[in-house]
Amino acid sequence: MMRKNSGFTVIELMVTIAIVAILAGLAVPGFVGWLPNYRLRSGAEEIQSTLQLARIRAIKQNATATVSFDMANETYQASVDGQAFQSGRMPAGVVIDSVSGTAEFGTRGFAASPVDIRLKNSLGKSKTITVKLTGNSRID
C-alpha cells in the first residue's frame, strides 16, 4: 500500500525562505530612499489642504481666516477670527524650512499677500507651497 505524502520538504522551505530573503534585501534600500520623499509630498499636500480649507471657511463664515506656522515646533494652525479650527505637525523627517509670512484669506477668499512655504526632508529635497493673491495655492 502506498501512502501519499503531502506538504513541503525542508529543502523546499529553505529555498523559498532564501528567495524571499534575497527579494527583501533588494527591496529595502529602495523603500528607505522612497520614504522621505513620500513624507515630504504628504506634508506639502496636508498644508495645501489646510490652506484651501481656511479659504473656504473665510468665504463661508464671511470672516478672516489665517494659517500660521511655527517653524521651531514644525507645526501649523488654521483659525477663523482667532478661533483655531485645525492644526497639524509635519511628518517625521520633514521640516518647515522657510515661510514668507502668514497666509491670510479675506471674506472673498483672496489672500492678503502672496506666501511661500518651503518644506525640506532629511535627504535635502524640498517642496514649496505657493499661495497667490487670488487665494489659490499650488505645490512646486
Residue 28: pLDDT band (50, 70, 90) is confident
CATH assignment at residue 75? 3.55.40.10
Residue 3 in any domain: the answer is: no
User: DSSP per residue over 28-59, as a string?
Assistant: HHHHHHHHHHHHHHHHHHHHHHHHHHHHHHHH
Number of domains making up the chain? 1
pLDDT for position 25: 82
- Residue 40 CB burial class (10 angstroms; 0-12, 13-18, ≥19): buried
Domain region containing 128: 11-139
For 82-130, the pLDDT digits (tens) are: 899 999 999 999 999 999 988 999 999 999 999 999 999 999 999 999 9
Residue 2 in any domain: the answer is: no
Backbone angles phi, psi at 51, to 5 degrees: -60, -45
Residue 6 in any domain: the answer is: no
pLDDT over 80 at 7, yes or no? no
Higher pLDDT among residues 118 and 26, named by residue: 118
Residue 129 in any domain: the answer is: yes
